[in-house]
Structure 1
Amino acid sequence: MPKLIIDDIPVEVPPGTSVLEAARSVGITIPHFCYHPALAIAAACRLCAVKLLDGPVKGIQMSCSLPAQDGMVVSTTDPDALKMRSLVIEWLMLNHPHDCPVCDEGGECLLQDFTIAGGHSRRRYLGKKRTFQNQYLGERIHHEMNRCIECYRCVRFYQEYAGGTDFGVTGSAGRVYFGRFAEGALESPFSGNLVDICPTGVFTDKTGRFRARYWDYRFSPAVCQHCSVGCNTSPQNFQRELIKIVARRNDQVNGWFICDRGRFDKEYLNGPQRPRDPEVDGAPCDYRSALESAANRISEFCLQNGAASLAFLGSGRLSLEGCLVLSELARVVGAQACYFAEAAPAQGSLAAVRLLNEENAARVRDIEKAECITLFELDLMEEGAMLALSVRKASLAGAQVFRVGGAREGETHPLPFRYQEVATLDEVPFEGGSKGVVICGAGEKSPELLSYLASSGAKLVMLQPAANGFGASLVALERGAATLSDLVESGQVKAVACFEAEPPPWLLERVEVLACADWKPGATAKKASVFLPTTTWVESDGTSINYEGRAQRFLSSRPAGLPLKGLDSKYYSSETEAVSLHPPRVHRKDIPGGEEREAWRVMADLILELGGEPVNEPLTGRWGELKDLDPEGEGVRIYDLLSTQDLS
């Protein structure tokens, strides 16, 4: 491994590591704009200049494109390097507008940071600034081209990394322009990453424009709940309202980026239609009254019909903690615990968990390095969009990509890579499976079909129909849980209590709903005798297990309750106040709409109310190993926690 010296610090790094990354490994930050670890080297901004004092290369060099070599002596503080960097900053600032006070990038802008770090504080240029016309890029991304410093990050990501074709670069020299040939919404389902990857404020999140500064936000590490990939995110909240969702790096799951669905599909978290008040027979009440009523009705039903006639229904929307406590609640009452409403999705999810193990469950790295990839009867852009970028990376490296089953009904985005249509899996040349990967959706696939896919010898990606579908399936197998539809059709179950679960209409018509705990409005919440509001993943701590069996921890990033913006007039001193623009004028100790609880805590309260023992920590026994998971880490695969008996 190359050994070099950077600012008098000996450094040893793997072959191929750039001098910039070598310096970063020992805590030395070299200013840069165009460089990004996920993108190809461009060396366009010229800001990462260092001086090599000795070794195979000497003089001023760009550290982002210079591989570390034995014997190099590098100085990041040499006067010549400092002068070079200060001049580059001055060139970049010639035309940059002085609009930091109104720029949404303020507080998290690399140009701000490196301008100050480079010692540039006074403009000597007195001429006219170059100006551009901005473009309309849709309702999600705002374009402010005058702030551009021509680092090429945006187009390198959009075209090379994500495979987009409707955005690029035109012009030359000082008139380089990054945009579309004609105004219109960006077509790539990964376009929102332009907001994160731009080092200045050219691309900003229009959905949160002018709402708050970076230092105003409350945020914590989170795991996206839109699909079973489990991308790492950071929800940014202000005054109990989710303003933005940004990507959080995890090289084992999503790398540096997230899809637009995970970034922009967030209105349901703030929406006024979201139920926040407990109800008994449709009338709002306090949490304690609703809890007591739910416990009384469950007890009365069990006395009249027998505990086996009652089922507690969960789903893959529950955290792992919720799935475990649901089983305990059912045990205390003597009722059935169900994690799936219908048999079709249940059989596929359960079969996937049985088939996957440490050896055959594909990691993201396995996909990126594969030589042969098969997409089997799934809409990848809907069921696991971020995996499409991994498949694209493999395709660009020479992998063959095959698609079995053709396009799915309702597909909205084309796949960002080349592939070949084949009729059956037998037509795919796996070459022994050593570098093969099969990607399919587990939901509603028969166990026999999934076993057939596993017999190919390739590594497997079996996407679950819900974010924690893997975790729900694991607990269902461990506890021997049945499917609700089977219990209802056999006549065993006559009533249910649902916890973040929505049975289909035909099944809902055949059972009495004694209680419902959820954060979503729906037919189940309307039919339930007692309703208890739960918190979403943004207001909860918990654990989620993604499609590959990777357990990840997420933390609450805001307290439960209604956002301050747009509160009902009853929270103000006068109904004539502009309530949508000001915080409440009535002082109170409790948070409006703050009756929500995490789903597992609702279950734990019900257990106490029904005479069971307190549940203070859901992750016990072997699951206790997940209690101390680092929420900012890469997560852990759970196969070493399992035994073959658990999955039988």
Structure 2
Amino acid sequence: MPKLVIDHIPMEVPAGTSVLEAAKSVGIWIPHFCYHPALGSVGACRLCAVKMLDGPVKGIQMSCMLPAQDGMVVSTTDPEALKMRSLVIEWLMTNHPHDCPVCDEGGECLLQDYTVAGGHGIRRFEGKKRTHVNQDLGPYIEHEMNRCIQCYRCVRFYQEYAGGSDFGVLGSARRVYYGRFEEGKLESPFSGTLVDICPTGVFTDRTARFRARYWDYEMAPSVCPWCSLGCNTVPAARYRELLKTIARENPAVNGPFICDRGRFTNAPVNDPARPRAPLVDGKEVTWDAALDALMVRVSELEELYGPGSLAVVGSPRLALEGNILLARLADLLGAGHLCYFADREEGERVAAAVDLLASDKASSMADVRKADCVVILEADLRDEGPMMLLAVRQAWRHGAPVFLVGKHAPLGQARTVSMEAIELSILEEVPLAIFERPVVICGTRNSTRAAIELLARADAKIACLLPGPNAFGAGLLAREHGAVTLAEAVGSGKVKGIIAVEADIPEELLAQVPLVVAADWLPTETLRRAQVVLPTAAWVEMDGTFVNNEGRAQRFRKAMVPGLPIRGLPARFHASPDKPAPFHPPRVHRSAPPGGEPRPAWRIVAELIKRCGGEAETDPFGGRWEALRGLDPEGDGVRLKE
């Protein structure tokens, strides 16, 4: 390991570490634009200049391109290095629009930060500036080409890292242009990463543009709920509205990026049709009245149909805390059935996957990125887990062959990321034994339980795509409590009532049950059929825990308070209902925001436990879940094993 000195700090770093990364490891930040840890170094921006005072290399050098070597003495504050960086900034600003006070990227722009830090406060250039025409890149990405500093990050991510083919760069004379051959929506399922990766705001989130500055956002570390991979995110909200979602780095899971589904699926949280108040028979009531009605109707159900006629139902999208407490609630209510899955086959497939993955065979996305052979078995990753497809591409870029096995593993998913793949009929045709780090990625949506169980014999690590952000946790609890699926419970003919907590119940099962109590934050068919409705908080409105597809428990934090967004508040929430001000909050003093009644699902379950005579639950984590108490939401998470 080479030993060197940076700004009088001696250090020892792994071989191959750049001087820039070595400096970062001891808290010394060297300005840079083009370098990105996931994309590597190209030395395009020339901003990371340092002075080599001694060692095998001397003089001004680009720290991102220079591997650390024994005997190096580096200065990041030498006057020559500072002057070099100052001149680079001034050169970049020659044609750049000087509109920082009004630019919507203010607060999130590295060029703004480095310009101020480098002392370039007065423009000397007085000539005519070069300008560009922007393109329409679809409903999600806004193009502002005049902000570009030619760092090439966007193209390197889009083409090299993500395998997109409809976006690139054109150079002509002194003009460099980044965009599409013609206007149109970007085709890559990872196009939104251009927003995060661009250092100057050439690409911005159109859905949140001009809504807030960076320092106005309410933010907290979170976990994406739109598939089972558990990618780390930072939701950004303002005025009770989820404006955008930013990628949060977790090397063991998603790395530094997220997919477009996780980034742009904000509408359900802001949906005016969301349940916002407790309902009994379609009429708004107080929380106490709704919970009282629930207890009365459950008692009437038992008197009418006898013991065991009630089923308590959780789901793969319900946070772990709520699913844990449901077992306690079912005991106290004397429910005949505890269910974590509605569909029988889905429950069996998840159970088989959990049995398989609750061991050392489970593969993370980091393992997939480093694999030397990848098999995609009966899965279309574009739909079941887009970030897993991006991880597979990284393995392929480093030489790993990719095999698509089964009729539900279409070649189109490989073409989406410009990746070559070999199509096979059965898993046994793949020569797994000749590879050192093979990974098999199995979709549970189209696989059978028997097929999943057979993967235990495969000489490879296994990754399974599950049907929800907490499907693994639900599977563990179902096994622990001997739970059955709702289809089995209703099929027995005994179940006449259900309490469904954030559960999606098929219509054919709802039709067989006279009493439906539903707690949810989505306006599902279950909610529409329910006699008692309890509004729950969305994941961004509460603290909670998801267990992802590899069995990694990750904590997410509350980023915003529940409530109707200020924009478009219904007239009944204004002081003058006849003349509501659609873009101004009501001028009425309230103890809670309009529509702010939703509660975290686990707290609703805890309140029901208390009403049944149980002890007040303030911390769901006990027993086998003790290790999750105090879980760091900004850490890598904790793998749950046998």
Give the structure-2-normalised TM-score: 0.98
Q: Give the corresponding residue for 1:514.
A: 516
Task: Structure 2 unaligned segments of length 5 or more: list them.
Answer: none
Distance 2:446 2:192 in 1: 31
Aligned equivalent of 2:404: 403
Partner of residue 313, structure 2: 313
Q: How do 1:193-232 residues align onto structure 2 when only pairs under 5 Å count?
A: 193-232=193-232
- Partner of residue 78, structure 1: 78
CA drift of 1:627 comes to 1.4
Deviations 1:4-44 (A, max 9, x none): 00010111111111000111111111010001101031110
Equivalent pair of 2:245/2:263 in contact (CA under 8 Å) = yes
Matched, 1:42 2:42: yes
**1:91 equivalent in structure 2:** 91
Secondary structure at 2:218's aligned position in 1? coil
* Residue 414 (structure 1) shift: 4.1
Show the counterpart of 1:351.
352
CA contact (8 A) 1:537 1:556 kept: yes
Residues 513-562 of structure 1 deviation map (CA, whole Å, 9 limit, x = unaligned):
33110111122112211100001111011111000010000011011111
- SS of residue matched to 1:553: strand
Equivalence for 2:543:
541
Equivalents in 2 of 1:172, 1:629: separation in Å? 53
Name the structure 2 match of 1:283: 283
SS in 1 for 2:515: strand
For 1:363, the equivalent position in structure 2 comes to 364
2:542 and 2:314 map into 1 onto residues whose CA distance is 17
What SS does the corresponding residue of 2:308 show, helix, strand or coil?
helix
Whole-angstrom distance in 1 between the partners of 2:101 and 2:172: 30
Instruction: Map Cα deviations across residues 568-593 of structure 1 (whole Å, 9 max, x no partner).
Output: 12222224556221121112112211
Normalised by the length of structure 1, the TM-score is 0.97
Where does residue 394 of structure 1 map in the other structure? Answer: 395
Name the structure 1 match of 2:614.
Answer: 612
**Separation of aligned partners in 2, 1:300 and 1:604:** 22
3-state DSSP of counterpart to 2:517: strand
Structure-2 residue corresponding to 1:111: 111
Q: Which amino acid aligns with 2:374?
A: I
Contact 2:341 2:347 in 1 (8 A): yes
CA contact (8 A) 2:411 2:421 kept: no
Q: Is the 8 A contact 2:496 2:515 kept in 1?
A: no
* Residue of structure 2 in register with 1:251 after alignment: 251
One-letter amino acid of the counterpart of residue 231, structure 1: C
The residue number in structure 2 matching 1:645 is none
The letter for the 2-side match of 1:534 is T
The correspondence for 1:496, drawn from 495, 498, 509, is 498
Provide the alpha-carbon RMSD of the alignment: 1.5
Decide whether the 8 Å contact of 2:403 with 2:430 is kept in 1.
Answer: yes
Deviations 1:294-313 (CA, angstroms, capped at 9, x unpaired): 11111221233233111011
Q: How many residues align?
A: 640
- CA change 1:188–1:294 in 2 (3 A) is same
Q: Which residue pairs with 2:137 in the alignment?
A: 137
CA drift at 1:119: 0.9
**In structure 2, distance between residues paired with 1:32 and 1:155:** 17
Per the alignment, in what secondary structure is the counterpart of residue 169 of structure 2?
strand
- Residue 96 (structure 1) shift: 0.6
Q: Deviations over 1:281-333 (max 9, x none)?
A: 11111111111111111122123323311101110011110110111100111
Structure 2 counterparts to residues 591-630 of structure 1, below 5 A: 591-630=593-632
Identity over the aligned pairs, expressed in percent? 58
1:161–1:393 CA contact under 8 A, matched in 2: yes
Contact 1:571/1:585 (<8 A) preserved? no
Q: CA deviation at 1:412?
A: 8.2
User: 1:174 & 1:116 partners in 2: Cα distance?
Assistant: 26
In 2, Cα distance between the equivalents of 1:120 and 1:409? 53
Q: Deviations over 1:134-159 (max 9, x none)?
A: 00000100000000000000000000
Matches within 5 A, 1:186-585: 186-335=186-335, 336-406=337-407, 414-416=415-417, 417-431=419-433, 434-443=436-445, 445-575=447-577, 577=579, 579-585=581-587
| Correspondence for 1:646 | none
1:24 is aligned to 24
Aligned to 2:127: 127
AA aligned to 2:168 is G
- Matched to 2:345, the amino acid is A
Cα deviation for residue 408 of structure 1 reads 5.6
| In structure 2, distance between residues paired with 1:467 and 1:513 | 28
Distance change in 2, residues 1:191/1:453 (3 Å): same
**Structure 1's 609 and 114: CA in aligned 2 closer, same or farther, altered over 3 A?**
same
Secondary structure at the counterpart of residue 373 of structure 1 = strand
- Answer yes or no: is the 8 Å Cα contact 1:141–1:205 preserved in 2: yes
Query: Unpaired runs of 5+ in structure 1?
Result: 643-648
